[in-house]
Amino acid sequence: MTTYNFCAGPAMLPTEVMAQAQQQLRDFSQPGVSVMELSHRSAEFMQVAEEAEQNLRDLMQIPDNYAVLFMHGGARGQFSAIPLNLLSETGTALYLESGQWSVSAAKEAAKFGRVEVRDIRDANSSIDLAKIGATAGYDYVHYCPNETVDGVSITAVPECDSPLVADMSSCILGRDLDVSKFALIYAGAQKNVGPAGLTLVIVRRDLIGQAAAHTPAILDYRLAQENDSMYNTPPTFAWYLAGEVFKWIKANGGVTAMSARNQAKAAALYRFIDASDFYRNGVSPIFRSEMNVTFQLQDAELNQRFLAQAESHGLMALKGHRLVGGMRASIYNAMPMAGVEALIDFMDNFAQSHQ
């Protein structure tokens, strides 16, 4: 039985990447030495680091006037780093709230400066883009294009008259993107990139160097840029694995191919849910996440049985976020269509035997 892991994060990594990581875990550049046992300043690791950055630049077509930083601390570290680096003493940041993560980001930012908040959700925990309103005059505007808890997504990049900052932890590399529309893109690695503990920051270079005096060094973009993300010892193994994931994406058609596959996976699953009267998803179709498909059983009494039987069929970690309950299938780049098909088959059989 093949296991399919639908965890929202830390999420499954591509099978081929894990196979190679296992094969070379103890023998990287020479026998008996793991990549995680190399100095971050060794020639061998520097090559890993540079290749990873170059491959990410290629995949996302990141313009040269953007720095790519490999940082500690997860997306929550960036919740602090972004205002510390980008919010001036006299300025204001606008935070668009579309779910759990953007709300948390706004709350953290308010510790460091003036923050204005706009809730852009509608009554159905979907999105109302008209609520974004005027965006001129802010130091930056922050939003989260994919909210994992509710499975809500804003695919089209909003028009914005201030520097636009996006938390792409759960959607980076899942769709083609025009990086030049953004001032800063950041992503915790543990969904679409690699293991937990690494954070990607793609930031326009002219925005670097204005950090507040009380910015912890590990969150200061200038120090990260000047030291090639090695101001302190970086999480080297996570960096290496992220690099292997980038190679895997390249070898599998790049972001365009990932995007086509992601859209096909999500479409199949939503189509099945919509056609069923046993399962439901309440998000407006255009704001449905391709990465995190949330759904409820009409009879919530069956939730435990659903989860237990799913596990026994090798379908793991389908429980929804504790804040909203129900189910959630996270189907990032690494999830093959076969996993989604196996889930649909199981859901279909479960529905038939419980109706």
Pick between residue 19 and residue 286 the one whose CB is nearest to a copy of itself.
19
- Assigned token pair, 231: 């101001």
Which is nearest to 135 in space by CA: 99, 171, 89, 181? 181
Q: Mark 238-267 with x for binding to a copy of itself (rule: CB under 8 A) and - for no binding.
A: x-----------------------------
- Return all residues near 110 (Cβ < 8 A) that are at least 6 apart: none
Q: Does residue 329 belong to the site contacting a copy of itself (CB under 8 A)?
A: no
In the region spanning residues 176 to 205, those forming contacts with a copy of itself, defined by CB under 8 A, are 188, 190, 195-198
- 14 prior amide bond cis, ω within 30: no
Of 139, 167, 220, 228, catalytic: 167
Q: Specify the stretch interacting with a copy of itself by CB under 8 A; choose among 119-127, 212-220, 247-255, 347-355.
A: 212-220
In the region spanning residues 56 to 95, those forming contacts with a copy of itself, defined by CB under 8 A, are 72-77, 79-81, 84
CB of 270 to a copy of itself, least distance (A): 23
Pick between residue 78 and residue 289 the one whose CB is nearest to a copy of itself.
78
Pick between residue 32 and residue 285 the one whose CB is nearest to a copy of itself.
32
Of 111, 128, 178, 191, catalytic: 191
Q: Specify the stretch interacting with a copy of itself by CB under 8 A; choose among 4-12, 93-101, 255-263, 282-290.
A: 4-12
Pick between residue 62 and residue 105 the one whose CB is nearest to a copy of itself.
105
Establish whether 239 is a catalytic residue: no
Which is nearest to 50 in space by CA: 240, 219, 183? 240
Establish whether 220 is a catalytic residue: no
Q: Which of 8, 154, 185, 224 binds a copy of itself (CB under 8 A)?
A: 8
Q: Which of 34, 92, 100, 309 binds a copy of itself (CB under 8 A)?
A: 34
Establish whether 58 is a catalytic residue: no
Count of residues interacting with a copy of itself (CB under 8 A): 64
Q: Mark 103-122 with x for binding to a copy of itself (rule: CB under 8 A) and - for no binding.
A: -----x--xx----------
- Active-site residues, by number, are 101, 167, 191
- Catalog residues that contact a copy of itself under the rule CB under 8 A: 2-3, 5, 7-13, 18-19, 21-22, 25-26, 30-34, 36-40, 42, 72-77, 79-81, 84, 108, 111-112, 188, 190, 195-198, 213-219, 231-238, 314, 316-317
